[in-house]
């Protein structure tokens, strides 16, 4: 069915009814067709049934200036993918929270157990080195204190597991480390 501009071009008789019926059919079909309606109005929807393919259609809405893609309707799979962002689509398709975090490249959540996301406390006595747990890659932060307990400095970084991250005579350290790989 051809796209309809929603106008009533026939001023009298049965032709008025035909024009009104065609306009209502266009609205009911979301102006489905391979080209945009000729006289769009702000807020109007258009279902492009040939972009990007004959089985994956594009749903767009007219802003009053341009057609803005809302999403893609896959008529074979029976799915709709919002076009607002790739991240949003990845989150919607994720099977669980872990998969969602991985899909958007979010850092792992803190956990007490071993592995990526593990968070540990760092605490040494004055004169002892601060050493990361073995394995993986860690992001860390430490505060240095002297024998009187006064803070004398801070340091942070990323290092391999097992690395000595701070070791100055006369200082002790406290802080945290999180395994990131």
For 114-143, the pLDDT digits (tens) are 788 888 999 999 999 999 999 999 999 999
Kindly state the average pLDDT of the residues 141-153: 90
Answer whether residue 41 shows pLDDT above 90.
no
Nearest to 33 by CA among 51, 19, 47: 47
pTM for the full model? 0.43
Q: Which pLDDT value is given to residue 71?
A: 82
d(CA 15, CA 20): 9
Two tokens at 110? 């803190």
Domain range annotation of the chain: 13-103, 119-179
Separation between Cα atoms, residue 126 and residue 147, nearest integer Å: 6
């Amino acid at each position: 069915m051809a796209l309809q501009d929603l106008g009533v071009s026939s001023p009298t008789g049965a032709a008025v009814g035909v024009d009104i019926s065609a306009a209502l059919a266009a609205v009911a079909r979301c102006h489905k067709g391979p080209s945009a309606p000729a006289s769009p109005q702000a807020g109007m929807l258009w279902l492009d049934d040939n972009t990007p393919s004959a089985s994956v259609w594009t749903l767009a809405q007219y802003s009053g200036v341009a057609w803005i893609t809302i999403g893609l309707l896959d008529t074979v799979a029976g799915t709709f993918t919002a076009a607002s962002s790739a991240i949003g689509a990845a989150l919607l398709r994720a099977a669980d929270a872990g998969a969602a975090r991985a899909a958007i490249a979010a850092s792992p959540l803190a956990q007490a157990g071993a592995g990526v996301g593990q968070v540990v406390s760092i605490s040494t006595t004055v004169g002892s080195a601060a050493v990361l747990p073995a394995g993986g890659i860690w992001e860390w932060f430490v505060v240095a204190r002297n024998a009187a307990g006064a803070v004398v400095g801070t340091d942070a970084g990323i290092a391999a597991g097992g690395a000595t991250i701070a070791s100055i005579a006369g200082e002790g350290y406290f802080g945290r480390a999180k395994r990131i790989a």
